[in-house]
């Protein structure tokens, strides 16, 4: 037992075993203390917030009713798993979550035996739990598999693929459908509308219910007679809905279902932000938070005159482009706020599509729009585009359709860690025929690249980082760039040898410039990863003794590899140093901490180049080259 000042129960419950020894009558009090602890801790450190206030009772009831860790709980996404972490030995470290060397942002198998599956991207939990249920069947083990998935997560195709399969093969498993009628923004979809109508009809009235109901009330009345018809069709027995904040109701349902045979689905209604008025009133604002006042919910005032975020630059550009061209359409797979589309969604509702957490659909939707002569701009986080990769190749690129991909969160994103870093996009984009791949070095470049993409009759991607631009002046009317042309930003001043040229991509141009002053290096802002500026690369290879490529993408197959391939094709022997993300997964921390850790901050870049310049092997090719 640990004494926690101000808390009577929390310190007594550090494991599910301890929780299960608590009399049922004490659980509501524990829920109150857990909620208060979440508010106080996250008010201090920030993190995913509102969803966690909604899963307090659910987490308590699951660990109380099931024999965890023997029984497998699989949380979808994991942004709502903080109460689960608190109940499984990690409460004291909650204040380190998402920080360097601190608790993992989501569930992670390496962190706890209670984290049965690594998550971060949504809609995977039912497949994973199905795998576990199938394994139990094969091994003849008696353990339960439970997937806990939100209504947002349920919009992802994988969730339905998994249910369709599990329902067919009759696995013994439970899906807890945690329906708070919210994704990060208002949830979307026909299933969502159905659920909201059901809540209304049953008079269950969760505060967010009916928020986005658009069509007439009678429309689906017949379906409401059998609210779980869809799930039943997929082979699941539907139960509920139950109030997800009523511990007695939850426990009764879990007791009833935990040994039930075949696929079961329990529909649970929760409130995102439960118990903290500002978060209940505005769950979008409190989905993920920075520090806030735990009493009022107020956030510190933003300092005026800051540099604009790339996300904002994109959002403003898209509104401007849509103003000028009625064919411009904006698409997001459930990331309206994070992708800078709030303003666009208000001003151009007819041309705005939130596809749900359905990246594959979003990409092919864009392809369909492009087939009909519209100009789709698909705003998508780098990490989530991974989900839509086949669609990108098969539906967009092979048909050479002019879809612009506005790829936010390229490079390291910071606190969300390995599942969310945009570490691979340059590698996986540049190998696709027909694609144009651009990476801006500042916000004006970003606007010009977006304008370039929109002017092309082929697919294109503009990939920019999480965070702010440099505060440069922006052209009101951004001119498209010449395709496949980079630019020299810094010439060498002296004639010191060995002569170094840094070929930098996107956000790495700035640190390149910082390192270049001391080295007196040439710096090229390459602008295009594809088509690469071959003329510029070959010229720099001729004029310099060492080329350094610099990108915040995996070194494997990235922009540096493109340079290497070009040099090899042209039999250029110039020594090359490829700097970029290493070939291992990088965890969480601030972007600055992580970049320093892997030697990609200004001083780190300088150190590595200087070390390379000192190495003997540089002299040999140099000597050969000068003989040649």
Ligand X SMILES: CC(=O)[C@@H](O)[C@H](O)COP(=O)(O)O
Ligand Y SMILES: Cc1ncc(C[n+]2csc(CCOP(=O)(O)OP(=O)(O)O)c2C)c(N)n1
Catalytic amino acids? Answer: 272, 359, 387
Residues of this chain, 586-605, that bind ligand Y according to CB under 6 A: none
Q: How many CB atoms lie within 10 A of CB 307?
A: 15
Which option in Mg ion, ligand Y, ligand X, none does residue 153 bind, with CB closer than 5 to 8 A by kind? ligand Y
Q: Is 387 in the site for ligand X (CB under 6 A)?
A: no
**β-bridge mates for residue 578, sequence order:** 549
Dist. CA 175–CA 124, nearest whole Å: 12
Smallest gap, in angstroms, from Cβ of residue 222 to ligand Y? 26
DSSP H helices, 49-142, are: 50-54, 56-65, 82-85, 125-139
Interface mask (CB under 6 A) for ligand Y, residues 418-457, using x and -? ----------------------------------------
Query: Binding site annotation covers 152?
Result: yes
Sign for the pseudo-dihedral over CA of 590, 107, 243, 232: positive
Query: Binding site annotation covers 421?
Result: no
Q: Is 334 in the site for ligand Y (CB under 6 A)?
A: yes
Q: Is 413 in the site for ligand X (CB under 6 A)?
A: yes
Dist. CA 129–CA 131, nearest whole Å: 5
Q: Is 385 in the site for ligand X (CB under 6 A)?
A: no
Q: Is 466 in the site for ligand X (CB under 6 A)?
A: yes
Q: Is 125 in the site for ligand Y (CB under 6 A)?
A: no
Dist. CA 7–CA 265, nearest whole Å: 35
Those residues whose C-beta lies under 8 Å from the C-beta of residue 330, and which sit 6 or more positions away, are 318, 322, 341, 344, 345, 348, 351, 352, 353, 376, 377, 379
Helix (H, G, I), strand (E, B) or coil at 395: helix
Residues of this chain, 55-84, that bind ligand Y according to CB under 6 A: 77, 79-80
Given a contact cutoff of 8 angstroms between Cβ atoms, the answer to whether 326 and 348 are in contact is no
Q: Which of 72, 99, 121, 588 binds ligand Y (CB under 6 A)?
A: 121
Residues of this chain, 157-186, that bind ligand X according to CB under 6 A: 184
Q: Is 53 in the site for Mg ion (CB under 5 A)?
A: no
498 upstream amide cis, omega within 30 of 0: yes
CB-nearer residue toward ligand X: 79 or 430 = 79
CB-nearer residue toward ligand X: 75 or 177 = 75
Those residues whose C-beta lies under 8 Å from the C-beta of residue 75, and which sit 6 or more positions away, are 81, 84, 106, 107, 119, 125, 148
Which of 268-276, 289-297, 408-416, 494-502 is the region at the interface with ligand X (rule: CB under 6 A)?
408-416
The phi and psi torsions of 285 (rounded to 5 degrees) equal -65, -30
Which option in ligand X, ligand Y, Mg ion, none does residue 14 bind, with CB closer than 5 to 8 A by kind? none
Dist. CA 484–CA 370, nearest whole Å: 23
Q: Is 192 in the site for ligand Y (CB under 6 A)?
A: no
Count how many Cα atoms sit within 13 Å of the Cα of residue 404 in the half-sphere of its side chain. Answer: 28
Smallest gap, in angstroms, from Cβ of residue 422 to ligand Y? 13
How many chain residues bind ligand X (CB under 6 A)? 9
- 101: phi > 0 → left, psi -120 to 50 → alpha, else beta; which? left
Residues of this chain, 43-102, that bind ligand X according to CB under 6 A: 77, 79
- 341: phi > 0 → left, psi -120 to 50 → alpha, else beta; which? alpha
Query: Binding site annotation covers 194?
Result: no
Please give the torsion angle defined by the CA atoms of residues 431, 437, 441 and 446, in that order, rounded to the nearest 10 degrees: -160
CB-nearer residue toward ligand X: 117 or 236 = 117
- CA of residue 3 relative to chain centroid, distance: 37
- CA of residue 243 relative to chain centroid, distance: 29
Query: Binding site annotation covers 151?
Result: yes
Which option in ligand X, ligand Y, Mg ion, none does residue 413 bind, with CB closer than 5 to 8 A by kind? ligand X
Helix (H, G, I), strand (E, B) or coil at 313: helix
Residues of this chain, 277-316, that bind ligand X according to CB under 6 A: 288
Query: Binding site annotation covers 356?
Result: no
Query: Binding site annotation covers 79?
Result: yes
Chain position whose Cβ is nearest to ligand X: 338
Q: Is 382 in the site for Mg ion (CB under 5 A)?
A: no
Q: Which tokens sit at 266?
A: 């329990």
Dist. CA 361–CA 288, nearest whole Å: 25
Smallest gap, in angstroms, from Cβ of residue 272 to ligand Y? 5
Q: Is 151 in the site for Mg ion (CB under 5 A)?
A: yes
Query: Binding site annotation covers 276?
Result: yes
**β-bridge mates for residue 146, sequence order:** 73, 174
Q: Is 151 in the site for ligand Y (CB under 6 A)?
A: yes
CB-nearer residue toward ligand Y: 14 or 80 = 80
- CA of residue 228 relative to chain centroid, distance: 30
Q: Which tokens sit at 591?
A: 């972007």
Query: Binding site annotation covers 210?
Result: no
Given a contact cutoff of 8 angstroms between Cβ atoms, the answer to whether 159 and 123 are in contact is yes
Q: Which of 14, 124, 180, 553 binds Mg ion (CB under 5 A)?
A: 180
Q: Is 338 in the site for ligand X (CB under 6 A)?
A: yes
Q: Is 183 in the site for ligand Y (CB under 6 A)?
A: yes
Q: Is 391 in the site for ligand Y (CB under 6 A)?
A: no
Smallest gap, in angstroms, from Cβ of residue 196 to Mg ion? 12
Residues of this chain, 13-52, that bind ligand Y according to CB under 6 A: 51
Sign for the pseudo-dihedral over CA of 9, 15, 16, 21: negative
Q: Which residues bind Mg ion (CB under 5 A)?
A: 150-152, 180, 182
Annotated binding site: 79, 120-122, 151-153, 180, 276, 359
Q: Which residues bind ligand Y (CB under 6 A)?
A: 51, 54, 77, 79-80, 121-122, 150-153, 180, 182-184, 272, 334, 357, 359, 384, 387
Q: Which residues bind ligand X (CB under 6 A)?
A: 77, 79, 184, 288, 338, 409, 413, 416, 466
Annotated binding site for Mg(2+): 151, 180
């Amino acid at each position: 037992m640990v004494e926690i000042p101000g808390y009577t129960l929390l310190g007594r419950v550090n494991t599910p075993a301890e929780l299960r020894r608590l009399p049922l009558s004490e659980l509501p009090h524990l829920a109150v203390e857990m909620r208060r602890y979440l508010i106080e801790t996250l008010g201090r450190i920030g993190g995913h917030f509102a969803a966690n206030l909604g899963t307090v009772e659910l987490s308590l009831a699951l660990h109380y009713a099931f024999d965890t860790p023997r029984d497998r709980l699989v949380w979808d996404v994991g942004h709502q798993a903080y109460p689960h972490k608190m109940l499984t030995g990690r409460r004291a470290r909650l204040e380190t979550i998402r920080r360097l060397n601190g608790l993992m942002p989501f569930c992670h198998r390496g962190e706890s035996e209670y984290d049965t599956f690594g998550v971060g991207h949504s809609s995977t939990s039912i497949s994973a739990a199905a795998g576990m249920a199938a394994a139990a069947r094969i091994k003849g083990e008696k353990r339960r598999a439970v997937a806990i998935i939100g209504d947002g997560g349920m919009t992802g195709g994988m969730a339905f693929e998994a249910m369709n399969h599990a329902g067919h093969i009759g696995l013994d498993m439970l899906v807890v459908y945690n329906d708070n009628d919210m994704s990060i923004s208002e949830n979307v979809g026909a299933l969502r509308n159905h659920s909201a109508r059901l809540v209304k009809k049953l008079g269950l009235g969760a505060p967010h219910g009916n928020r986005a109901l658009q069509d007439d009330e009678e429309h689906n009345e017949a379906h409401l007679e059998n609210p779980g018809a869809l799930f039943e069709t997929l082979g699941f027995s539907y139960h509920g809905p139950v109030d997800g904040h009523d511990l007695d109701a939850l426990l009764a349902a879990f007791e009833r279902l935990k040994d039930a045979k075949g696929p079961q689905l329990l529909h649970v209604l929760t409130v995102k932000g439960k118990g903290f008025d500002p978060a209940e009133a505005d769950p979008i604002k409190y989905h993920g938070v920075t520090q806030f006042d735990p009493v009022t919910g107020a956030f510190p005032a933003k300092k005026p005159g800051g540099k604009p975020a790339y996300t904002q630059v994109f959002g403003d550009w898209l509104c401007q482009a849509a103003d000028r061209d009625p064919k411009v359409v904006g698409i997001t797979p459930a990331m309206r706020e994070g992708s800078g589309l709030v303003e666009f969604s208000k001003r151009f509702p007819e041309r705005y599509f939130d596809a749900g957490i359905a990246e594959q659909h979003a990409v092919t939707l864009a392809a369909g729009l492009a087939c009909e002569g519209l100009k789709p701009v698909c705003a998508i986080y780098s990490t989530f585009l991974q989900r839509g990769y086949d669609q990108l190749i098969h539906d967009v690129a092979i048909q050479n359709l002019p879809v612009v991909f506005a790829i936010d969160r390229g490079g390291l994103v910071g606190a969300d860690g390995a599942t969310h870093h945009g570490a691979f996009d340059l590698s996986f984009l540049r190998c696709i025929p027909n694609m144009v791949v651009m990476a801006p070095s500042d916000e004006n470049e970003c606007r010009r690249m977006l304008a370039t993409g929109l002017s092309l009759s082929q697919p294109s991607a503009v990939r920019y980082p999480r965070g702010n631009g440099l505060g440069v002046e922006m052209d009101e009317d951004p001119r498209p760039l010449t395709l496949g042309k980079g630019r020299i930003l810094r010439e060498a001043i002296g004639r010191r040898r060995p002569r170094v040229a840094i070929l930098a991509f996107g956000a790495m141009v700035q640190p390149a410039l910082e390192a270049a002053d001391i080295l007196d290096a040439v710096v090229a802002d390459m602008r295009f990863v594809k088509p690469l500026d071959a003329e510029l690369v070959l010229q720099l290879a001729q004029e310099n003794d060492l080329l350094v490529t610099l990108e915040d993408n995996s070194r494997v197959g990235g922009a540096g590899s493109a340079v290497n391939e070009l040099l090899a094709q042209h039999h250029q022997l110039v020594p090359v140093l490829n700097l970029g993300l290493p070939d291992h997964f990088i965890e969480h921390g601030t972007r600055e901490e992580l970049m320093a850790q892997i030697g990609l901050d200004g001083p780190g870049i300088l150190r590595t180049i200087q070390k390379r310049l000192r190495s003997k092997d540089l002299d040999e090719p140099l000597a050969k080259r000068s003989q040649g």
